[in-house]
Chain A
């Protein structure tokens, strides 16, 4: 998995590629939690377009990030979910709790 951070006004966008699993999810968790807990970034956006795979440890990291965003009054936004990622989120029955958009324009818009 690779994570590349971009900044747009007060929004941090993480472009994530590869597999989010037990080996890599701690890296994602650390990067996103830092944005909320230390930097108090008002909105963090995950670009999941090129994520090939996500497992329960990856979903757990997303849930933890969402909770951290709520704790500090920030927004945690996802976009670009492919079939594999969407299926796993639907299987977890957690797809409804996330703010999900089709593309980046929508994800960074007000």
Chain B
């Protein structure tokens, strides 16, 4: 376990979580682009929990656990960062986790698209009366500077 955070569903905490994750991903050697992708995906996932699961209530619990793992699933192999978010809200309807067509230009509904585009694995399940979202990003090391 690299990091465990007990959070409240308050949008004001998002900035602190982004900072912690960006620092951690950078220290683990993720390229800058992947650091930004990880931060965006987790921020969007937390935003969805706050807005949709807890409907804007700011004092409900969210748990975040971050681990370094060795992934070997469905053809994806290698060192990876695993982030598991859990909330105690009502069960989420998996049908509503599909996102929307981007051709439809309107505000809202982009978060799930961002999460799926940013991570290598995105899995949702209901366990022990909790919603659990697992996000995994394979560690692709930074390219060494040219000429070195």
Listed in ascending order, the chain A residues whose CB lies under 8 Å from chain B are 19, 21-23, 53, 55-57, 59-61, 63-64, 67, 84, 87-88, 91-94, 97
Contact B11–A55 (Cβ < 8 Å): no
Once A91-B114, A92-B110 are accepted as A-B contacts, the answer to whether A22 and B105 lie under 8 Å apart by CB is no
Q: Which of B43, B105, B108, B114 interacts with A21 by CB under 8 Å?
A: B43
CA distance A22 to B36 in the complex (A): 17
By a CB distance below 8 angstroms, the chain A residues around B11 are 21-23
Q: How far is the CA of A23 from the CA of B39 in the complex (A)?
A: 16
A–B Cβ pairs within 8 angstroms, 11 of them: A19-B18, A21-B47, A56-B108, A59-B107, A60-B107, A63-B107, A67-B107, A91-B114, A91-B117, A93-B102, A97-B105
Q: Is the interface of A mostly helix, strand, loop or mixed?
A: helix
- Find chain B residues with CB under 8 A from A59 CB: 107, 110
User: What residues on B are CB-neighbors of A87 within 8 Å?
Assistant: 33, 36
In the complex, are the beta carbons of A55 and B47 less than 8 A apart? yes
Also in contact, A63 and B105, with CB within 8 A (given A21-B47, A56-B114, A92-B110) = yes
> Bound state CA distance, A92 and B11, in angstroms?
22
Which residue in chain B gives the minimum CB-CB distance to A29?
A: B107
Find chain B residues with CB under 8 A from A60 CB: 107-108, 110
Interface string of B1-23 (1 = CB under 8 A from A): 00000000001101100100000
- Bound CA–CA A60/B106 (angstroms): 7
CB distance from A86 to the nearest CB of B (A): 11
B88 at the interface (CB under 8 A from A): no
Asked whether B79 is an interface residue with its Cβ less than 8 Å from the other chain, the reply is no
Structural contact, A19 and B15, CB atoms closer than 8 A: yes
User: What are the residues of chain A within 8 A of B114 when measuring CB–CB?
Assistant: 55-56, 88, 91-92
Residues of chain B within 8 A (CB-CB) of A64 are 107
Q: Which 6 A-B pairs rank lowest in CB-CB distance, beginning with the nearest?
A: A60-B107, A23-B11, A56-B110, A22-B11, A56-B111, A63-B107
